Each structure stands twice: as C-alpha cells, then as structure tokens.
Amino acid sequence: MVVSYKCPQCGAPMMFDPESGKLSCDHCGCVTTVEELEQNPKEDVAFTSAPGSSLSSTKDSFKVYRCKNCGAEMLTDENTTATVCVFCGTPGLMEDRLSGENRPTLVIPFKLTRQQAIESFREWSKGVFLTPRNFLAASTMEKLTGVYVPFWLHDYDTHIRLDAHCTRTRHRRAGDTEYIYTDHYNVLRDMDVAYSRIPTDASEKMEDSTMELLEPYDYSELVRFEMPYLSGFLSERYTYTADEMEGRARNRARQFAETTARGSISGYESTNIVNQQISFRKLNEEYVLLPVWMLNYRFQGEDHLLAINGQTGKRVGTLPVDKGRARSIFWGIGAAVFVGASLLMALL
Ligand SMILES: [Zn+2]
Ligand SMILES: [Zn+2]
C-alpha cells in the first residue's frame, strides 16, 4: 500500500518541514507533529498500481503507479520507499517496504531546508572560477532532491595489542669527545577500545566515497523512525545487509584502533611496530536513514554529483567548470598582456 498523510483541515498532503521539524500543509498552513500524525494517521492511498504495468516480465523490478491526485503515471524501482509525484508533488510512502525487517530503527530528520540548500549552492559557486552560466538557474535547482539514504551503524569492541621497538638518543661531551648513546625500549600497548556507530552506506546506488566525505553526522540527533519524516522526500531501502557491510565496518574499526594505539606512543625518536594483533567483537548494528540533498548535474557530457549533508550543510563534489568560458577569458587576458607589452615597448 502506498500511503500519504493528509491535512486534517483541508485534505491536502502534509510534508515534513525541516525548519520546524513538524509536518505542514502547503495549502492551508496547518501544522502537526510527527507524533500526532502517527497516533491519528489520516492515511490514504496516494498512488495506485497502474494495471498491467509491470514493465519487466522476468523480474518485477520496476513498477508503474498512478498518482491519485493528478493521474500521472510514475515509475519506481523495487527499492523505492518514498517518492513524490513529479507533476503535482503528492508524496507517496511504500508502507510495506518500511515495515518488518525493512523498518529503519532511527532517522536523522532533514534540518536544512530546500531553500537553504539552494542558498548553499549559490555560495559554493561564488568560490569557484567559472561555473556554467545556467548552474544556478531554476531549471537546474528543480533537480535538487532531498534523499534519505539507508545506512548501517555498527558497534564494535576492539582489542588491540601493539609491540613496538622505540629509540631515544642522548649526547654527552667529555673534553674533545662527544658520546652518543642510543636507548632502546620495548613498548607495549594493550588496549580495549569500543567504537559505536561506525557508519556504512547500505545503498548500492550511492557512491561510498561521496557518502564517507559527507560524514560526520551528529548522531545525538537520531530519533526513533516514523514514516511522516519521509513525506515529501525520496528514500530507498537498503540493498546491502548489515552482514554484507561488515567487512567495511571492521576495516574502519581497525583503522580507528590502529590510529588510537599508535597515537598513544610518543616521545621517542624512532618507533617501529614489531607486532600487532587486533580482535573484534560485534556488539550491535542499527538500520538508520540519513538526510542528503543531491544534485545530478550534467554538463558538456560529464556528470557531476553534488551533495550536501542535510543535517550539517557539509558540501561534497566538484563544481563543473565551463571550459569554453574559461578559454575565452584566458584569450582576453593574453590579448591584454600583449597590448600592455607593446605599450611598454613604445614608451621605451
Ligand atoms: Zn491543509
Ligand atoms: Zn500527481
């Protein structure tokens, strides 16, 4: 079933508003909290399956829905959990893909509004030489989408034992002779370090490197997951299970433990790790959704994925550069320098 939350006053769809942290109706301005909506859900089927519309006959990976508000048809893939009708903006939440083992336990709700995200792009492009002229155009910014990305948060206990050989030198002068002493130390570190909430990106579609650069998220703002937070945004369910992501999470735990243990050895002139043992104990993992504003911008045959952390505002990606504009300006500078040089010659 595809549901959407309706305004208790006028029946228009209710959308999650990052600024107030509540749901509001664009139509009449009515505001309700997530809890109020959950307690008294005014759910209604937002989209209906369009008849005979499973596109692929072998695998039901795409599905066509018809918006009940405007009648437009839309295509969703099997992992979509929240979507918005591109024609009229009616939000639709795929309830059965958000329940049972597919139900996230926690979510960081969007804090940055769409307007703030657009403002951030404007500021970003100011600092970049020669972004394309239409970059900030309304038609580009329309493609900006708020996405809740599925993540696993892993908790680990690690035990690390390091054996290191370290040295320090001392100098002593006696008459004309200088004595150099090298002291050798066997340094041992045996530490138990607990790491909580190591994130791994659970979505096949999201580039891991982009997601890691968007970190850190402030996990103190995680709240219990409720469906209304997704209203008006896009979301997907996880494509990788927590077990599939465990290798990645362990690697990160290993890096953290190594950095901590090695960082605790200081005050020597040389440090040489002779032996290192790490063991892990998995404690817990949680399925969570984290907010990202995303813009896919295609320019001169190249795709640019630009992303903004929907909680902290951190920006990731490389803004496109208009090479044509760049070239013409360099020619301009070249000509100016040439004219300047000829003037100088004339004066001499
Ligand atoms: Zn209303
Ligand atoms: Zn519609």
Question: CA-CA distance, 69 to 2, in Å (whole number)?
Answer: 13
Q: How confident is the model at residue 285 (pLDDT cuts 50, 70, 90)?
A: very high
- The ligand placed nearest to the CA atom of residue 29 is 1
Cα of 90 to ligand 1 centre, how many Å? Answer: 13
159 and 285, same domain (yes or no)? yes
186 and 313, same domain (yes or no)? yes
15 and 86, same domain (yes or no)? yes
Question: CA-CA distance, 80 to 98, in Å (whole number)?
Answer: 10
- The ligand placed nearest to the CA atom of residue 28 is 1
pLDDT of 188 > 80? The answer is yes
Cα of 74 to ligand 2 centre, how many Å? Answer: 9
Buried residues in 93-114 as b, exposed as e (16+ CB within 10 A): bbeebbeeeeebebbbbbbbbb
Contact 245, 163 (CB under 8 A): no
Question: CA-CA distance, 91 to 284, in Å (whole number)?
Answer: 33
66 and 198, same domain (yes or no)? no
52 and 185, same domain (yes or no)? no
Q: How confident is the model at residue 243 (pLDDT cuts 50, 70, 90)?
A: very high
Q: Is 345 within the bounds of a domain? A: no
Cα of 10 to ligand 1 centre, how many Å? Answer: 4
Q: Is 171 within the bounds of a domain? A: yes
- The ligand placed nearest to the CA atom of residue 67 is 2
Cα of 88 to ligand 1 centre, how many Å? Answer: 15
161 and 76, same domain (yes or no)? no
Question: CA-CA distance, 24 to 13, in Å (whole number)?
Answer: 9
189 and 316, same domain (yes or no)? yes
Q: Is 212 within the bounds of a domain? A: yes
Q: Is 76 within the bounds of a domain? A: yes
- The ligand placed nearest to the CA atom of residue 92 is 2
Look up the domain containing 240 and give its range. Answer: 149-323
Question: CA-CA distance, 75 to 219, in Å (whole number)?
Answer: 33
Cα of 8 to ligand 1 centre, how many Å? Answer: 7
Tell me the two tokens of residue 168: 């320090």
Q: What is the mean pLDDT of residues 262-291?
A: 94
Max mean pLDDT range (27-31, 70-74, 320-324): 27-31
Cα of 139 to ligand 1 centre, how many Å? Answer: 28
Q: How confident is the model at residue 348 (pLDDT cuts 50, 70, 90)?
A: low
Q: What's the pTM?
A: 0.82
Position 345 scores a pLDDT of 64
Beta strands in the chain (DSSP E): 2-5, 14-17, 22-25, 31-32, 43-45, 47-49, 62-67, 73-77, 80-84, 91-94, 106-107, 145-174, 177-201, 223-224, 234-236, 270-299, 302-309, 315-316
Q: How confident is the model at residue 300 (pLDDT cuts 50, 70, 90)?
A: confident
Cα of 118 to ligand 1 centre, how many Å? Answer: 26
Question: CA-CA distance, 196 to 290, in Å (whole number)?
Answer: 16
Cα of 56 to ligand 2 centre, how many Å? Answer: 24
Number of neighbours of residue 255 by Cβ within 10 angstroms: 11
Cα of 171 to ligand 1 centre, how many Å? Answer: 82
- The ligand placed nearest to the CA atom of residue 30 is 1
182 and 57, same domain (yes or no)? no
Cα of 9 to ligand 1 centre, how many Å? Answer: 5
Cα of 69 to ligand 2 centre, how many Å? Answer: 5
pLDDT of 54 > 60? The answer is no
- The ligand placed nearest to the CA atom of residue 27 is 1
Q: Is 134 within the bounds of a domain? A: no
Q: Element (H or E) spanning 90, and its range?
A: none
The number of residues making up the chain comes to 348
Cα of 72 to ligand 2 centre, how many Å? Answer: 5
Tell me which of 98, 113, 131 is where a domain ends.
98
- The ligand placed nearest to the CA atom of residue 70 is 2
182 and 61, same domain (yes or no)? no
Tell me which of 98, 114, 129 is where a domain ends.
98
Q: How confident is the model at residue 329 (pLDDT cuts 50, 70, 90)?
A: low
Tell me the two tokens of residue 121: 């792009």
289 and 158, same domain (yes or no)? yes
- Tens of pLDDT, residue by residue over 28-38, are 999 999 988 87
Position 47 scores a pLDDT of 80
Position 309 scores a pLDDT of 97
Cα of 24 to ligand 1 centre, how many Å? Answer: 8
Supply the mean pLDDT for the chain. 87
- The ligand placed nearest to the CA atom of residue 7 is 1
- Tens of pLDDT, residue by residue over 111-161, are 999 999 999 988 988 877 677 877 888 888 888 999 999 999 999 999 999
> Under DSSP, is residue 249 helix (H, G, I), strand (E, B) or coil?
helix
Work out the percent of the chain whose per-residue pLDDT is above 70.
88
Position 74 scores a pLDDT of 83
172 and 311, same domain (yes or no)? yes
Q: Is 12 within the bounds of a domain? A: yes
- The ligand placed nearest to the CA atom of residue 15 is 1
Cα of 28 to ligand 1 centre, how many Å? Answer: 4
Total of domains in the chain: 2
Cα of 293 to ligand 2 centre, how many Å? Answer: 22
Contact 149, 289 (CB under 8 A): yes
Q: Is 335 within the bounds of a domain? A: no
Q: How confident is the model at residue 55 (pLDDT cuts 50, 70, 90)?
A: very low
DSSP codes, 160-187: EEEEEEEEEEEEEEETTEEEEEEEEEEE
183 and 85, same domain (yes or no)? no
Q: Is 277 within the bounds of a domain? A: yes
Position 150 scores a pLDDT of 96
Cα of 233 to ligand 2 centre, how many Å? Answer: 14
- Describe the chain by its helix, strand, coil percentages, rounded to 5: 25, 40, 35
